Amino acid sequence: MAAERGNHKIYRYKLDSDINDLLIRFSNIHKYDSLDTFKEAWTNWCESNNVMIIGEEERLKNHGFTGDVKEKMYIASRYYYRKKEGVGDSGVAVKCKQKRSYIILDKSLLKLMDEHILQLIIKNDYKPSTGFDDFYETNKKVIETEIERLINQDKDKDKDKDKDKDKDKDKDKDKDKDIYAKIKKTYKNRYFKLR
Tell me, what's the pLDDT at 90? Answer: 45
Compute the average pLDDT of residues 17-28.
88
Q: What's the CA gap between 11 and 27, in Å, rounded?
A: 25
Q: What's the CA gap between 88 and 109, in Å, rounded?
A: 45
What global pTM score does this model have? 0.47
42 pLDDT above the threshold of 60: yes
Which tens digit of pLDDT belongs to each residue from 47-94?
999 999 899 899 988 888 888 889 888 888 888 877 776 544 444 444
Tell me the torsion sign for CA atoms 151, 156, 161, 166. Answer: positive
Q: What's the CA gap between 43 and 66, in Å, rounded?
A: 22
Cβ atoms of 52 and 22 within 8 Å: the answer is yes
Residues 6+ apart with CB under 8 A from 95: 86
Q: What's the CA gap between 119 and 184, in Å, rounded?
A: 18
Cβ atoms of 77 and 42 within 8 Å: the answer is yes
Tell me the torsion sign for CA atoms 27, 33, 34, 37. Answer: negative
Burial of 35 (0-12, 13-18, 19+ CB in 10 A): exposed
Q: Where are the domains of the chain?
A: 3-81, 107-194
